[in-house]
Structure 1
Amino acid sequence: MPTAITPPPAPEAKTLSGAVSQLANKKRKIICFSDFDGTIFMQDTGHILFDNHGCGSKRREILDEQIKSGERSFREVSEEMWGSLNVPFDDGFEVMEKTLEIDPDFQSFHQYCIANEIPFNVISAGLKPILRRVLDTFLGEEESAHIDIVANDAAIAADGSKWKPIWRHGDSALGHDKAQSINEARHDAEERLAKEDDESVPLIVFIGDGVSDLPAAREADVLFARRGLRLEEYCQEHSIAHIPFDTFADVRREIERIRAEDEAATGGRGAPARFNPRANLWRRVSTQAAVPRYVLMSPTKEEKMFLWPEAFSEITAKANPAVELKEVPDLPAASAPA
């Protein structure tokens, strides 16, 4: 897939005895979300196809730079890349099957999730038919069926002459707004629990590898970043709390620890061990109508383009850095670690 643009740093979820006191005694259900390319699998499914059956690696690198510079949107560049393919689906899958490497501990981690009734969801900017075929092949159809894939759909001609993404969020310059998808899933989970008279608060876990995952990661209570890749580097650069991991065996150990920690906290009539009280604040300011002043002042143009493409694309076109913005209250100070 194309390299997405760097979003602004997310505020960390910290334990606040006062702010979350209302959550006391509510045992939370864990829900896992994971990126696909570079996280579950070491390679990028889109890159494999583009380099072997489409525009080629050199053109793809040029297109990636156009996204980074703000010259073109992620969605526009992605449409060109997918549109460059001329290969039947099955033939294209052959090269992916030969090239892709799955995280060595992912399958055992996913089996752990099934055994402990922890929903596991893939959230990706890729194409759902491709991701489903890959999971069916590497995990088997029965196990793969336990994974919900939240991604874009696709229209692919039988002879492979035309590949067209069907964007999950057609009004977004990103095609798929991962943050919106996670919030929708959180809302659905809360509604299901409410119907069961269950007052627990879902614990949202996100697992990723690149900065394109940050829009979703900032909506999570716990963030895992693959060690040595760009997401971990970005989190370190911007003091974003995260848990580094080498394989999904590390993710499993940490989730087991978090479950025990959470249970001990709520069992002792305290607040849950981890909670992101600022998620609602981020959702309020991260809109097309309100661009926070601290983001406008950021030295990284990519950060502005990523979350507010409509607002800043006009600035890029006119090459005019001056812009009038609505007043947005300053953010409160971040909470201190527990």
Structure 2
Amino acid sequence: MPAAVSNNRSAHEPDNKKRKVIIFSDFDGTIFMQDTGHVLFDSYGCGAEQRLLLDEQIKNGERSFREVSEEMWGSLHIPFDDGFKVMEKKLEIDRDFQSFHQYCITNKIPFNVISAGLKPVLRRVLDTFLGEEESARINIVANDAQIAEDGSEWKPIWRHDTELGHDKALSVQEARKQAALTCDNGTIPLIVFIGDGVSDLPAAREADVLFARRGLRLEEYCIENKIPYTPFDTFADIQVEIERIRLEDDEKTAGNGFPACFNPRANLWRRVSSKNTVPLYAANPSVARTPA
């Protein structure tokens, strides 16, 4: 439900309502340089060679992502806590992620992880690298899991009954609807997505602003299909662009005859995006108007 407006505000007090910015980020290969599942499978499960063969079965359409993932997770037979000894040694977090997340906290920008992985694993990794207090500020949208205490069984509990197990596009759509309920009158949420691979495309298509890690498959796909995006090397690059977008938003919505809470450009994004199903606004001005 929309938040109630305080009756204590003066009738002459300027209304500085701003559009809600919501950030969704992939986890493996985006926040962390490595894939958490791959580290576990290669060290304690099916092994790197078998994992690569299973990955190829997904790529050639022989088996679904969900089916192969169940086999990979099922190959683990190690207690949950023990599995993190190798994770702490092999995982590398983006060097600017923590400062970027602090920027989000300071500016009240919701930051969400959206992943095809297992929520207990992702939460434990964030707790370990960020500390539990900061980790708790990050909402994780991922599959759940049943993990036996003795490690004899690792079983994904899928969010959706699909071949992917987690329909990232649906998760972003649901979040957009929920956010719209809390937005100020005349505004709609601005959805930002950050990713690295083609598996991120379903969620990326639901975004207004798309960031792709430089040199990886998501960027290649965007170039091949003329999808507007902004490349990034670290989360510091993203922070600069998010701040620029927020400042530009203030300038565009003030002094143009509309109240500050109204952004006609955002409404255009939604109308066009619903037709093209690709991100319509690139943070880089030089490509922001490239036709999809």
Aligned residue in 2 for 1:90:
81
Aligned residue in 2 for 1:251:
238
Aligned residue in 2 for 1:192:
182
Alignment of 1:197-212 (within 5 A): 198-212=185-199
Q: Are residue 281 (structure 1) and residue 268 (structure 2) matched?
A: no
Amino acid at match of 1:177: D
Provide the aligned length of Structure 1 versus Structure 2: 258
Cα pair 1:26 1:199 within 8 Å, conserved: no
State the distance in 2 between where 1:275 and 1:237 align.
Answer: 22
Amino acid at match of 1:160: G
State the distance in 2 between where 1:276 and 1:212 align.
Answer: 23
- Pair 1:100–1:187, CA change in 2 (3 A): same
State the distance in 2 between where 1:239 and 1:268 align.
Answer: 34
Aligned residue in 1 for 2:247:
260
| Structure 1: unaligned runs, 5 residues or longer | 1-24, 284-334
Off by >2 Å, runs of 4+ in structure 1: 268-283
> Which of 19, 37, 47 is equivalent to 1:28?
19
State the distance in 1 between where 2:265 and 2:18 align.
Answer: 7
Aligned residue in 1 for 2:205:
218
SS at match of 1:165: strand
SS at match of 2:175: helix
Amino acid at match of 2:272: R
- Pair 1:185–1:261, CA change in 2 (3 A): same
- Pair 1:276–1:228, CA change in 2 (3 A): farther
Q: Are residue 172 (structure 1) and residue 162 (structure 2) matched?
A: yes
Length-normalised TM-score, structure 1: 0.73
Aligned residue in 1 for 2:10:
none
Q: Are residue 146 (structure 1) and residue 133 (structure 2) matched?
A: no
- Pair 1:79–1:250, CA change in 2 (3 A): same
Shift of 1:336: 6.3
Q: Percent identity?
A: 73
Cα pair 2:228 2:290 within 8 Å, conserved: no
SS at match of 1:155: strand
Length-normalised TM-score, structure 2: 0.85
Aligned residue in 1 for 2:260:
none
SS at match of 1:198: coil
> More relative contact order in 1 or in 2 (CA 8 Å, sep 6+)?
1
State the distance in 1 between where 2:48 and 2:290 align.
Answer: 45
> Which of 168, 173, 189 is equivalent to 1:183?
173
| Structure 2: unaligned runs, 5 residues or longer | 1-15, 257-262, 278-288
State the distance in 2 between where 1:86 and 1:236 align.
Answer: 41
State the distance in 1 between where 2:249 and 2:113 align.
Answer: 24
Q: Are residue 271 (structure 1) and residue 264 (structure 2) matched?
A: yes
Q: Deviations over 1:42-85 (max 9, x none)?
A: 00000000001101111111111111111110100000000011
Q: Are residue 81 (structure 1) and residue 68 (structure 2) matched?
A: no
Shift of 1:102: 0.4
